[in-house]
Structure 1
Amino acid sequence: MPPLKSDVWTWDTLIHILIIMALAIVARWLLRKGVDWTIRLMVSRSEKREATMPGRTRRILAEATGATLDRQNQRTTTVGGLLSNVGVAIIIIVALLSGFSTIGIKITPILTSAGIVGVALAFGAQTLVKDVLAGLFIIFEDQYGVGDAVKINEVEGLVEDVGLRVTRIRDWNGAAWYLRNGEITKVGNVTQGWTTSFTDIKVHALEDPNQVIRVIRKVLDDIAVEFEGTLLDKPLVLGVGDITGDTMTFQVMTKCIANQHHDVLRALRRECKDAFDAARIRGAF
């Protein structure tokens, strides 16, 4: 290491170092605040822009691109976190180099040595480089983002963090999984695009199928109004799907914005039960 100045630890030097630390802390705080403010601004603009769109236009865009408001907000948050982390790393590096210069450590020999050592370490850092490159593609291709419900390799759960090197997932049992981006080979994302669901509605086999279909269609009309902002197409009853023993099964198809079908199906089953009771249609035993 290059020799230090003989008078390195003077009050001026200490004050200079404290100033560098203070500036680094302030710069980090301003960066975080700036990124947070930018994220809030972009989210607000997205909400205002979507509010001006007719419902039909909004649904078509969601079906074609998966660009729902929630999806755009998740992507904004993910990219904002990445930029914040990169900015903090740059601030730390600049502060360290400034500190070295202040106490008399020449930076040029260090950088030269780092270059030589870097070549030697490059062979051992291939995995790290692979992880980082994969992380960049994951983020900029929008394969998934914070809050998405995904299956990555054999792990299913919610994405909690997308970093350059590691993705963190919280599975349905509450366990946190840390997956190196370079090892991710399969990604299933149920939050993007749309979800088509087929639901079985069962009644007694002796009931009149035409009456049952009429009742279900009336329920579906009500569901279409109640979930106008979630459904991409009007729900359809496909007819009798199966008759087994004392049970006649009718199949209903719904097409919703991705991963927003659960409330629709719950309401569908509940309202079918109420409508069957009112029409004196017996359920399956």
Structure 2
Amino acid sequence: MTKFASHANQKILTALERLIDIVAKLRSPLGGCPWDLAQTQESLIPYIIEEAYEAVDAIYSQNQAEIAEELGDLLLQVVLQAQIAQENEYFTLEDIAEGISEKLIRRHPHVFGDVEVASEEEVHHNWEKIKQEEKQKTHALLSEKLKTYVRSLPPLMATLKISKQAAKAGFEWENVEGVWDKFQEELKEFQEAIIKGDLQHAETELGDLLFTVVNLGRWYGIDPTVALQGTNNRFIQRLSLMEQKCDRPLQEYSLTELEVLWQSAKKQLSIDE
């Protein structure tokens, strides 16, 4: 390691130590912040999810200053969780760092060991194989593993993870036509539940329909979260163009007028692209 690199690393460690000390002070019963003191591992869950999504949004925007800020907010959540865990003698930030370091070493035998790889695909294959071997030691049943996705991930992401793992275990359609058949089946059952006015049953069928749509995306290599995020962004862009052309609130326009404005905005965005 060069003298410059060593100096840079020391500056990083100093900055991290400052953040750790600040969080510890915020959590101190003697002069700390009442809000921070009231937090628990569970109460901070929404903030972890929110900060992760905001970091992703910043990365998509490619605003580097915003990315740095959002990653800082995400880092705060890690340090805060570690502080709470340390207070309860569960684990420490050191345990977190050591744990991920050992995992990285285990899963990169081509870097830290004598394994040779010829491509990125081979690296990914080895990673998944090692990961599976690790998980088998702690998750004997597939259902137990899938439960962790439901508990820890947003529904769309969890569904994709669940369907991928189920497929690896053999719980899979023979071809994509079978998935399309399942989609038509679930759509019909959802429509029937709506017609009957049984909203509780309709909710169940809508869930089945969405699960199948995610599986369709998986078969075609399309990430449903990315797809839906794109749709959300396009909707907002079209709505923004509509509002620019309006001389009164949207709710004062008829449905026919709104459709004309919508199609105009859609066409304009298509031309701009």
TM above 0.5, yes or no, is: no
Task: Work out which structure has the larger RCO, using CA pairs closer than 8 Å and 6 or more positions apart in sequence.
Answer: 1
TM-score of the pair, normalised by structure 2:
0.21
Larger Rg: 1
Bigger share in helix:
2
